[in-house]
């Protein structure tokens, strides 16, 4: 019963979910290397498709994700990282706790009411 990394050209979706609240924080992709690195380090690690490299979330920002549990689905081609979001408590580079900060209202995307945990301009100003 192993993860099926072959089905999707080596990459499968990984959902990061807050271990306490079950809030979905983000979705990114993992390959075998990222998955094994996550298990070894206890820190949620992905494969960056844009930078084409291993991406240990928070390695630069400090907003890393401590692994509490890892789940897989019936087809073994998607995983969930149950995590404690560390650092400033935000998974999203736009400063929100969750990347899913917009929802559909009358066929238009509107911002949820959640406050930002940080201002990107101040955190990423260098």
Instruction: Give the H/E segment covering residue 59.
Output: none
* SS3 state of residue 121: helix
The beta strands (E) that lie in 1-126 are given as 12-18, 24-30, 45-48, 53-56, 65-72, 79-85, 102-105, 108-111
Q: Which is nearer to its own copies, 42 or 62 (CB)?
A: 42
Q: Which is nearer to its own copies, 59 or 73 (CB)?
A: 73
- What Å distances lie between residue 65 and 38, 106, 108, 126, CA to CA? 10, 34, 31, 23
65 contributes a contact to its own copies by CB under 8 A = no
31 contributes a contact to its own copies by CB under 8 A = no
Each residue 2-21 as x (binds its own copies by CB under 8 A) or -, in order, gives -----------x-x-x---x
114 contributes a contact to its own copies by CB under 8 A = no
- Residues making contact with its own copies (CB under 8 A): 1, 13, 15, 17, 21-24, 26-27, 39, 69-76, 78, 80, 92-94, 96, 99-104, 107-109, 112
């Amino acid at each position: 019963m192993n993860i099926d990394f072959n089905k999707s050209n080596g990459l499968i979706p990984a959902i990061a979910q807050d271990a306490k609240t079950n809030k979905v924080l983000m979705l990114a992709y993992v390959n075998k290397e990222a998955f094994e690195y996550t298990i070894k380090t206890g820190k949620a690690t992905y494969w960056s498709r844009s930078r084409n490299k291993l991406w240990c979330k928070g390695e630069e920002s400090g907003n890393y994700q401590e692994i509490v549990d890892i789940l897989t689905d019936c087809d073994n081609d998607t995983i969930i990282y149950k995590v404690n979001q560390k650092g400033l408590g935000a998974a999203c580079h736009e400063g929100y706790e969750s990347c899913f900060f917009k929802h559909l209202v009358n066929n238009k995307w509107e911002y949820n009411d959640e406050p930002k945990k940080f201002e990107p301009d101040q955190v990423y100003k260098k």
